[in-house]
A and B are shown apart, each in its own frame.
Chain A
Amino acid sequence: MIQLVFYVFATVLVASAAMVISARNPVHSVLFLILGFFNAAGLFLVAGAEFLAMILVIVYVGAVAVLFLFVVMMLDIDFTKMREGLQRYAPFGAAVGCVLFAELVMAGLHWVTSPAVPAPITGGLGEPGGPMTNTAALGTLIYTHYILLFQLCGLILLVAMIGAITLTLREKPTGRRQRIDRQHGRMREDTLEMLDLPLGNGTTANGGFLRPPGSYYDTAVPGSYGIPSSDSGEGEAK
């Protein structure tokens, strides 16, 4: 029974992986990739690694593939151009694939474990303390035995993230970013002036403004909507 389930998951996984690279529409490719992730999660479940299965679904299907789909959906792809590319790059791709496959086969055939290597740390799965759930075993393994490596992985990801942000973040000269503290700090006196005018007189007749002069430049974000940035100071209304 469990073997049947395994073969169902494995077959669908391989089939959907093949469809990822052969589907014409890139959005369909990503959807097949998601199907593949699901079946991999199913295989983890069959193997009894329910924690890994759930994490696979949460991280890869729930977050990574969503962003992937997000980007692919917005691409404007010319399919005829892609076909031309296929003709040109197919030999290169095939060559790279063959080399990788040959390397894998060589590595697999000559895989020797030295007898001097200590037994792998299992996180207490086989220890007499009683059966552990694989969540607890994985936790012990990652956060106790391999904490340094784990933290280093996190640091690498952090560096990658900071790199991506610095590459894409541009401080626009006409930024319209909302500054909430500035909005909250604005008092009534800064924005409103109550005038008591005799009938027929304009507001400017006795030097009054609807807003006190200069207050607009204090409260608005410098650089937005044609307001000169604060350092130039040429727009001060005196």
Chain B
Amino acid sequence: MAHFFFDTVIGHVILIVLEALAVLVPLLIAVAYLTLMERKVMAAMQLRRGPNVNGIFGLLQAFADAIKMITKETIIPSGANRFLFLFAPFLTFSLAMVAWAVVPTGNGLAVANINVGILYLLAISSLGVYGILIAGWASNSKYAFLGGLRSAAQMVSYEVSIGLVIVSVLLAVGSLNLNDIILAQRHIWFCVPMFPMFIVFFISALAETNRAPFDLPEGESELVAGFFVEYSSLSFGLFFLGEYANMILMSGMVSILFLGGWLPPLGIAPFTWIPGPLWLIAKIIFCLFVFIWTRATFPRYRYDQLMRLGWKVFLPVSLLWMIATAGFLLATGLLPQGVS
């Protein structure tokens, strides 16, 4: 019965919508609770209590924030480009959502298990800069514009090292499919043999999501709030959701590329009882914790230091590592052949 229904065109469309909802609804809830987690974790690190009034342990705080944000007034600056001004937050938000289509949460369990999954993720994450750049330009404000420019330069720079790190991983996998990348880590997670690249990728992910210590596009102390200084209400909320969804996405990428995705740490009994999606969620939460930990620990980078780190440290290191990986795999005959 169910099979008959889902084989028709309308049924197929409904099935895809249901699959998308099955990913997006938990994602949005996760974003809501990530904001709470960030406040709680940072409070604990700074010996404070964090939100604890709304609901037990402040569990309703995220929803209170959301309601507050929605009921505020939307302000569009008079000199702004109206369409682009409203388009930018939608772009940021929707890009953060569509990337999740290819993330596998179990063996082959993705909305779209495509052959070039990792390239799709890279493409989507490299598009994130447009939301910020367009927002900065359309606001017709100096601070927003400077924030947008900073962000564009920063994200383009760190994409280079992210790309090279991904190439090193792909050399060891022999496929661009995300599921194959996870399956290639059955014996050992890539964070062990490629530990330096793991670190480079994580730091680049911080820069790519404009998180502390690389949150120069926001730069409260010098740019007020950077690219979203003119935004209010729901349009600001979409930027906010997009930023946090991007954090979760980048944590997901770190988990898939280096921490074995949905694989348990060891393929033996007590670990294999826990289903794959839970392992993936646990790894993502761990990465998010490190994101927050970094924010609570490090002061913001200066802009020239940021560029120096990206171009003069990460780029040569990841390039060298890529060549070394290729050489090692070729010399030991471990180069994967014909997996694709």
Contact = CB atoms under 8 A, between A and B. Distances in A.
B123 A54 contact: yes
A104 B149 CA distance: 40
Interface residues of B, number: 30
B133 A58 contact: no
Given A62-B127, A73-B133, A51 B119 contact: yes
Which secondary structure dominates where chain B touches chain A?
Answer: helix
Contact of B115 (A61, A133, A178): A133
Which secondary structure dominates where chain A touches chain B?
Answer: helix
Nearest to B125: A62
A143 to B, nearest CB: 12
Interface in B104-126: 114-116, 119-120, 122-123, 126
A13 B330 CA distance: 43
Interface in B266-306: 304-305
B127 A57 contact: yes
Contacts of A51: 116, 119, 176
Contacts of B176: 51, 135
A70 interface: yes
A63 interface: yes
B159 interface: yes
A67 B156 contact: yes
Interface in A6-61: 27, 31, 34, 50-51, 54-55, 57-58, 61
B340 A132 contact: yes
Contacts of B122: 54, 58, 62
A69 B148 CA distance: 11
Contact of A34 (B115, B116, B130): B130
A61 B159 CA distance: 13
A141 interface: no
Contacts of A63: 126, 156, 159
A136 interface: yes
Contacts of B134: 31
A181 B84 CA distance: 45
Interface residues of A, number: 23
Contact of A135 (B115, B123, B148, B304): B115
B126 A61 contact: yes
B152 interface: yes
Interface in B145-160: 145, 148-149, 152-153, 155-156, 159
A125 interface: no
Given A50-B114, A51-B116, A63-B159, A70 B126 contact: no
Interface string A68-105: 01100110000000000000000000000000000000
Nearest to A137: B340
Contacts of B120: 54
Contacts of A67: 152, 156
B229 interface: no
Closest 3 CB pairs of A and B: A62-B126, A54-B119, A57-B123
Interface of A: 27, 31, 34, 50-51, 54-55, 57-58, 61-63, 66-67, 69-70, 73-74, 132-133, 135-136, 178
